[in-house]
Homo-oligomer: A and B are copies of this chain.
Amino acid sequence: MNNKKEILNKVNNQQLLIGVVGLGYVGLPLSVSFAQENNRVLGFDKSEEKVLKVNSGENYIGDIQDEDLKSVVENDFLSATTDFSEMKNCDVVLICVPTPLDRFRKPDMSYIESACIEIGKNMKRGTFICLESTTYPTTTEHFMLPIIERESGLKHGDDFWLAFSPERVDPGNKEYFTKNTPKVLGALTGDGLEIGEAIYKLAIDHVHLVSSPRVAEMVKILENTYRLVNISLINELALLSGKMDINIWEVIDAAKTKPFGFQAFYPGPGVGGHCIPLDPFYLEHIAKKFNFDLTMIHTAGHIDMLMAHRMTLKVTSALNRHKKAINGSTILFLGVAYKPDIDDERESPALKIIDEVINKGGNVQFHDPFIPRINTPGNNQLKGVELSQDSLNNADCVVITTNHSEFDAGFIEKNSQMIVDLRNLIKTATDKVYKL
C-alpha cells in the first residue's frame, strides 16, 4: 500500500520520472507528450544515433513538430540514454518496442522479451510498467509477467504493477495525435489500473479503462483486423470490377452517400506500414493455441499476399498492349511509401512489386518526394530519380503506387507513354491509363 501511495503522490505532484523504452514513431511522440505537460521523461533506446539526436533536440519523427522536441529537451523535461541501468531511477516504464513478424508471418517477440529482461534487471520496487506495442492477447500476463518477476525477484501486485495500453498512432494524421486520441488501458490488478489511469491522464485527454490487459490487447487487434479485412475486401471487389467494366472508385463514392452503416475503404496495391499487415497475424498465431482457425484473417491475408503479383500482372498486361514485355522495359514507380504524404516504406506493397518487376528483367526506377532511396525485401537497392518530363517520357510504363498529394495528375498523364494507376490518381480516363 505504501508503494501505491508513494507513486500516486508523485503523480499528483508531477514528480515522476517516466521511462520510455523505444524511441521510434510511438515512443518519441509519447515522450514528448508527457514532457510537454511538465513531466520528466527519460527515453531508452539501444540506438546511439537516436539517443544522440534526442539529446541534441534533433527531431526524426514526422508526427512531431521540430520545435516541440527542441523545447522539451532544452527545458530538461526530456533526455535519452542507451544505459538501461538508469531505469532504477524511473517510477514508470512505458514500453514502445517493435513487434514485427518474421519471414514466416510469425510474431517476433524478441524486442518485448529483451525489454522485459532489461526492466527486470534494473527496475526499482514500486514501478508501474505498461506495454504499448501491439501483440496477441495474453502477452502481458503470460509472456511478460514471468520474465519480469524472474529477472527482478520482485512480486507483482506488492512490488510493481503491470498493464497494457495499445498505441493508436496514425502517422500523418493531422487531426488526431497522442494527446487527443483516447487511450485504452487494462491492468492485472485494480491498483495497477488506478495508478495507470492517473499516469496517462498527465498527458492524454481521455483514458478508457477495461477489465484486463487481454481485453486491451484484443482492442488493438480488432481495430487493425477490421482494416485489413476491409481493405482486402475492397481490393478483391476492385479486381472483379475491372473485369466487369465497373469503376470501383465510382462505386465507393456512390456507396458513401448512404448515411448509415457504411464506411468507405479504397483499393490499392495492398496494405503496408507497421500495423495492418502485422497485427491480425499476431491474433492468428495465438488462436492456434486455442484450436481455433481465424478464417477471415486468413482469407484477407491470402488476398493481400497475392496483390503484388496481381499488380505486376497489370503492368504486364498494359505493356502487352504496346507489344512490349517487362523484360527490357523501363518501369517508373511513383511513390514507394505505404500511404500518402509520409516517409515510411515499411511493408509497402510498392517494394514487393518492384522486386517482382526486377526479377522479370524490368529496368526499375522510382520517385518518391519523401523517400530518396530504398532497400527492398529482395535486397534491391535503388536511388530515386527526379519526377520530370524526361523521366516520365523515358519510361515504357509509369506505375502509380502511392497517391502523394503533391503528385500532379495532369502533368503525369500528359508526359507519360502509359500509366498503370493503382491509386485512382488520374481521374480522367484516357487510352493510356490502366486502372487497378
Contacts and interface: CB of A to CB of B under 8 A. Distances in A.
Q: Which 3 A-B pairs have the closest CB atoms?
A: A182-B257, A299-B299, A263-B263
Nearest to A276: B261
Contacts of A296: 229, 232-233, 236, 296, 299-300, 303
23 contacts: A138-B244, A170-B261, A175-B260, A182-B257, A184-B255, A184-B257, A211-B247, A214-B246, A218-B248, A218-B251, A222-B251, A223-B255, A223-B262, A225-B233, A226-B262, A229-B230, A232-B296, A236-B294, A240-B283, A296-B296, A296-B299, A296-B303, A299-B299
Interface in A216-251: 216, 218-219, 222-223, 225-227, 229-230, 232-233, 236-237, 239-241, 243-248, 250-251
A206 interface: yes
A295 B287 contact: no
A174 to B, nearest CB: 11
A405 B94 CA distance: 43
A277 to B, nearest CB: 15
Interface string A300-311: 101100000000
A145 to B, nearest CB: 16
A244 B290 CA distance: 7
Contact of A246 (B137, B229, B236, B303): B137
Given A246-B137, A295-B302, A296-B299, A215 B251 contact: yes
Q: A interface, how many residues as a size bin?
A: 35 or more
Given A299-B296, A299-B299, A287 B240 contact: yes
Contact of A258 (B182, B237, B251): B182
A215 to B, nearest CB: 5
Contacts of A210: 250-251, 254
A303 B296 CA distance: 9
Which of A211, A222, A247: most chain B CB closer than 10 A? A222
A181 B244 contact: no
Given A215-B254, A295-B236, A227 B184 contact: no
Contact of A237 (B212, B225, B245, B303): B225
A423 interface: no
Contacts of A302: 295
